[in-house]
Structure 1
Amino acid sequence: MRVFLTGASGWIGSAAVDALLERGHEVVGLARSEAAAASIEAKGATARRGDLDDLAALRAAAIEADAVVHLANKHDWSDPVGTARAERAAVETFAEALSGTGKPFLLASGVAGLAADRPATESDRSPFRGPESPRGGTENLALDAVPELAAVSLRFAPTVHGTGDHGFIAVIAQAAREHGFAGTIGDGTNAWAAVHVSDAGRAVALGLERAPAGTALHIVAELGVPTAEVAAAIGRGLGVPVRQVAPEDAESAFGWIGRFWGLDMRAESAATQRLLGWTPTGPTLLDDLASGAYTS
């Protein structure tokens, strides 16, 4: 298939490009800059210049493709409402272009907010709706449009980890460097689901090929790693103590990531693994921390 992929030069997107090409697909990746275009083309994919605000370009690329995988997001934590609205507009554009065509449309989502007192499952519905909700409520926007829109939600673990990651765990490790201690919010018994980036890339490709419209996939290898264990590993790697931080002090200790570090974000993926024939094989989060991926 000719696959149009947003976020193709990003952390998960780069792994998805590799997996899609390996499985014989043609990939056209959205590139915001010459550097991004060069990195996409170096892998053997085709770069298409543009960004998430260029809705005409998104529409045209979707019409030309056999499938769309939407992984890009502005991730502007200083303007979450603006980020959510931009995401909503992009998904609305893709939905308009793809509705009634039968072309697969896979979009990135997450497991946060699905369940409060247990691991989230693929059958849980997202509570987020509306353009100002997290990710602009786009998972529900897309899945509510099935069967006219052949949509599949890619619910990624809150940490997609590995060497070179600049996401949530990298931000937590940087806070430890700056403040001289690795911290938890409260006692750190809350846990985060996790998946290695190589496993995430393979799951995207398999999801494109095997997931029926209306499916929510959990791209999760570890059900939940306690944040106390993550903080302890960061502390060992940096040679700094581990401290508990009160919830009211979370943002002063961790910055914007403090809004999330105390959440419990566990998730199961047994149904996804059965459906896709996907078995995660990459290092665990604690393996990556022990190897110095976030602390060297």
Structure 2
Amino acid sequence: MRVFVTGASGFVGSAIVRELLQAGHTVLGMVRSDTAAEALSQTGAEVYRGNLNDLESLKNGASQCDAVIHTAFNHDFSRFKENCEDDRKVITAIGSVLAGSGRPFVITSGVGIMNYGKALTENDNPPASDVAPRAASEEAANALAQQGVKTYIVRLPPTVHDKGDHGFVPMVIGMAKEKGVSAYIGEGSNHWPAVHRLDAAVMYRLIIEQQPAQRIFHSVAEEGITFRRIATAIGEGLHLPTVSKDGKEAEAHFGWFMHFASINCLASSEQSRKTLGWKPVQNSLLEDLVPGVYF
């Protein structure tokens, strides 16, 4: 298959590109910069210059391929709601050239937008986007499905880990370095699910190859790791004390990240594993929180 991949030079997208190429597929990868184009070209993928603001370029790229995997997202949290609405526009634009074609379109969402006091399954739906802005992506995919687009949703956990990660875990590490302590909130009993990016990449590939009847998948290798365990591993890695913080002390430590540090989201991937035959084989998050990977 020839696969159009947005965010092809990103942390998750680049792993998907390599996974697809190793499985014998060809890739048309969308990148913005010259540096990203050079890196993508060296993998053997075909470079496609475009960006999320150019909807026509997205439609053109999608129209040339047998499948589309969309991983690109603007992670500027100072305009998070706007970025989520922009993702709705991107998904809608790409889907407009796929309707009725039978070509699979895989979009990316997150399990962290739901907290229902139980282990989430693929049957659970997020609240509306006016409550959880990131749900805009799933709303767009669901709308396209009603228009005859073969859409799939991959929900990633709060941490997708591996060397080169620039997401939540490095942010928590940076705060620990700055404050001189590794912190968790209260008892630290809130849970973060996790997956290694190479395992996540396999799931995206399996979806476009198998195109199953199931439409929502959880790319979750570990159902939930307590934030206290994560903070403790970070403290050990940095040779800093690990402490509990509450109230204003916690707010002072985590700042704008307080919401994410408080996420309590157990997530199951049982249905996804059964449907796709997906078996995570890479390191766990705590196994990666060692010198040479995160330190």
Instruction: Name the TM-score, length of structure 2 as normaliser.
Output: 0.95
1:143 corresponds to 2:142: yes
Query: By how many angstroms is 1:247 displaced?
Result: 4.4
| Structure 2 match to 1:134 | 133
Instruction: In structure 2, list runs of 5 or more residues that go unmatched.
Output: none
CA contact 2:92–2:144 (8 Å) conserved in 1: no
Q: Which residue of 2 aligns with 1:38?
A: 38
Identity level (%): 39
Cα deviation, residue 177, structure 1: 0.5
Counterparts of 1:1-296 in structure 2, within 5 Å, are 1-129=1-129, 133-135=132-134, 137-146=136-145, 148-212=148-212, 215-294=215-294, 296=295
Q: Give the Å deviation of 1:126.
A: 2.0
Whole-angstrom CA distance in 1 between matches of 2:247 and 2:28: 44
Preserved CA contact (<8 Å) 1:150 1:213: no
State the number of aligned residues. Answer: 294
**1:137-164 deviations in Å (ceiling 9; x for gaps):** 1212212432501000010111000111
Unpaired runs of 5+ residues, structure 1, are none
Per-residue CA deviations over 1:246-274 (Å, capped at 9, x if unaligned) read 24444431233222111102111111111
Deviation at 1:102, TM superposition (A): 1.1
Cα separation, 2, equivalents of 1:160 and 1:40: 21
SS of the counterpart of 1:79?
helix
Name the amino acid aligned to 2:267.
A
CA–CA distance in structure 1, aligned partners of residues 237 and 3 of structure 2: 40
Counterparts of 2:211 and 2:228, CA distance in 1? 35
* Offset from partner CA, 1:3-44 (integer Å, 9 cap, x none): 100011000111100111111111011101001111111111
| Cα gap change, 1:17 to 1:84, in 2 (>3 Å) | same
Contact 1:250 1:259 in 2 (8 A): no
CA contact (8 A) 1:251 1:259 kept: no
8 Å Cα contact 1:77/1:256 also seen in 2 = no
Is the CA contact (8 Å cut-off) linking 1:160 and 1:196 kept in structure 2? yes
> Is the contact made by 2:85 and 2:136 (CA closer than 8 Å) also made in structure 1?
no
Paired with 1:136 and 1:20, the residues of 2 have a C-alpha distance of 27
Counterpart amino acid of residue 138 in structure 1: S
Q: 1:100 to 1:213 in 2, by over 3 A?
A: farther
Greater mean alpha carbon deviation, residues 140-149 or residues 225-234: 140-149
Which string of whole-angstrom CA distances, capped at 9 and with x for unpartnered residues, describes residues 175-206 of structure 1? 10111010112211011100111111111111
RMSD: 1.6
